Amino acid sequence: MERDITIFTTPELREQLVRAAEGKDQIAFFNQEAKNDMKIASHTQGTILRPREIKSYDRGSGARTIPLVTGKIGSASLLNGITEFSPSAAIPLHTHNCEESVMVLEGEAIAELDGIQYCLGTNDTTWIPANTAHRFINASDTKGMRIFWTYASINATRTIVATGDTRSIDSEGNLEE
């Protein structure tokens, strides 16, 4: 059975919520009035995510992350999001307990994988096996850089090589609040 995903703006919201409460519609919506605050009425049909309206969190060293698909919205098997890098910014060398893929959305990056550095441009994509030490660096000292990342597990962790500190990706930036 084919299902539609519908996005409702605030003026339509009341009527659609009433219909959903009566069991006539299943909906997922993004509350435009409360920017940076996702409100989800139903996960049965999926969710529309708008990165420009989702609160980012500071990762330090000039990097900010916008979580997209997470456990908070109902994902059971993967995580993804966008990390934005200021000019010359770099994230620390780290590993994950699962596979990761990263695509450069904008700018030029240096991907360091297992001690080897690779130059990447827009749309270049990496596949990184579990437990492989890696990091990303913005190759430009004047322009920002953006990457889109996906983890192959909802239970993905990040371990910082220098400190051994391990944290759940899905709980970073208070994603579960």
- In order of start, what are the domains of the chain with their CATH numbers? 1-48 (no CATH), 55-174 (2.60.120.10)
pLDDT digits (tens, 9 = 90+) for 71-110: 989 899 999 999 999 999 999 999 999 999 999 999 999 9
Question: How far lies 78's CA from each of 100, 150, 176, in Å?
Answer: 10, 7, 15
> Is 50 exceeded by the pLDDT of residue 176?
no
Look at residue 35 and tell me whether its pLDDT is greater than 50: no
Q: Which residue has the tokens 């770099």?
A: 90
Beta bridge partners of 149: 81, 102
Q: Is the dihedral of CA 33, 71, 160, 174 positive or negative?
A: positive
What is the pTM (predicted TM-score) of this model? Answer: 0.74
Confidence of residue 30 (pLDDT cuts 50, 70, 90): very low
The reported pLDDT for the residue numbered 171 is 85
